[in-house]
Structure 1
Amino acid sequence: MILKIVKYPEPVLSQPGEPVTEFDAKLKKLVDDMFETMYASQGIGLAAPQVAVSKRVTIVDLSQGKDPAQKLVLVNPEVIFREGKQYEEEGCLSFPEIREKVQRASKVRVRAQDLKGKWFEMDGEELLSRAFQHEIDHLDGMLFIFRMSSLKRDLVLRKIRKMQREGTW
């Protein structure tokens, strides 16, 4: 089922997600619906708060559904290692039409649980690193616009306010 993606300034986007403690059919259904929603929106990552669920669950698929082996589910994830820097353009499904450059680590290691609750670690570089950091930020209530310079952020917020007034946001 395709879920509604909430947009900024929806409060759930600015709150840390609750840790997942039950690894059941309800969690699997949420993840399946999140993948369907993300693919329908042509995204490469989606965090549960973006579909108004305040849980520490995120998904990533750099292939956008073309390679099932690239489907990643991270439950209760955290970045445990960062290295290097990259400054690349990012977008966000909760900020449609907004794309700006953001600085991130070029390599990260994340620790997370799978759908059965088993812990694992995984490394990500370049785009995968950026996707991990962006989505885990969502779970911490941190939005990518707050990783921009204050000048860029002010311009983005002004654009959003204008679109809200025009009824296009």
Structure 2
Amino acid sequence: MAILPICIYGQPVLHTLAEVVTEFDKELHRLIADMHETTVAAPGVGLAAPQIGIGKRIFVWNYADQDEAPAIGVAINPELWIIPPEPGQADPEHEAEGCLSFPGERFELRRSAAAKLRAQDADGKWFEISATGWFARIMQHEYDHLNGYIYVDRLTGYAHNEAMRIKRKRNWGKPGLSWTPGIDSLEG
């Protein structure tokens, strides 16, 4: 297993629709193991293949604080259904979200309180999960990555302006930028 470099906002793969996985082989199993190791090292609760430069429809999670699914899992070729989130201002205490591809920052983002995931596992078998709360947020966040979105792309108003200011200050938003958990410092 290996810890993989994580792409920073601006890498084209992060802003492109990921491709369907068709091969369920040893290489896929190795990739999933590396993604899990990278998630733990970051530390994070999820990681999508585009975040490590691979434009495939795969994401992993590592989140034990829920009873709806295994604490550690993988979703391949997922489909996700949500009910639109409640209107209103996001709660800074309970809805602040971060991303390994926009490292070191957190912004409030209103998400649906529930999600239903249908996906394939590492062997190609289909499964379904109904997620609520923070686990539903993780599913939505990682699914967004497979569709070319980073959570800061969904921000509006002051939060969006602040995220773009940080992006400019850190010189992000262009190809070629990445960081490796356990090796690179995220100090601004």
Q: CA deviation digits over 1:10-30, x for unaligned, max 9?
A: 111000110001111111100
Counterpart of 1:95 (choices 63, 86, 102) is 102
Taking the TM superposition and a 5 Å limit, the aligned residue runs for 1:122-141 are 122-141=129-148
- The gaps in structure 2 that reach 5 residues or longer are 173-186
Distance 1:125 1:85 in 2: 14
Distance 1:43 1:12 in 2: 20
Q: 1:2 — aligned with what?
A: 3
Partners of 2:39 and 2:62 within 8 A in 1: no
Residue identity (%): 39
Q: CA deviation digits over 1:71-110, x for unaligned, max 9?
A: 0100011113436549411000001111000111101101
The Cα of 1:152 is off from its aligned counterpart by: 1.5
TM-score, normalization: structure 2? 0.81
Q: 2:178 — aligned with what?
A: none
Distance 1:121 1:58 in 2: 15
Q: Which runs of 4+ in 1 moved over 3 A?
A: 83-87
Partners of 2:60 and 2:75 within 8 A in 1: yes
Partners of 2:85 and 2:110 within 8 A in 1: no
Distance 1:108 1:117 in 2: 21
The Cα of 1:156 is off from its aligned counterpart by: 0.9
Partners of 1:89 and 1:99 within 8 A in 2: yes
Q: Could you tell me which amino acid in structure 1 is paired with residue 48 of structure 2?
A: A
Distance 2:85 2:111 in 1: 8
Distance 1:91 1:6 in 2: 14
Counterpart of 2:152 (choices 138, 145, 149) is 145
The structure carrying a bigger helix percent of its residues is: 1
Counterpart of 2:170 (choices 140, 163, 167) is 163
- The gaps in structure 1 that reach 5 residues or longer are none
Q: 1:115 — aligned with what?
A: 122
Q: CA RMSD of the aligned region, Å?
A: 2.1
Distance 1:126 1:98 in 2: 21
Q: Could you tell me which amino acid in structure 2 is paired with residue 119 of structure 1?
A: W
* Larger RCO: 1 or 2 (CA < 8 Å, sep 6+): 2
User: Residues 95 and 109 from structure 1, CA distance in 2 versus in 1: closer, same or farther, beyond 3 angstroms?
Assistant: same
TM-score, normalization: structure 1? 0.90
Distance 2:131 2:84 in 1: 11
Q: Could you tell me which amino acid in structure 2 is paired with residue 23 of structure 1?
A: F
SS of residue paired to 2:4? coil
Q: 1:24 — aligned with what?
A: 25
Q: 1:39 — aligned with what?
A: 40
Q: Number of aligned residue pairs: give it.
A: 165
User: Residues 78 and 41 from structure 1, CA distance in 2 versus in 1: closer, same or farther, beyond 3 angstroms?
Assistant: same
Distance 1:56 1:45 in 2: 14
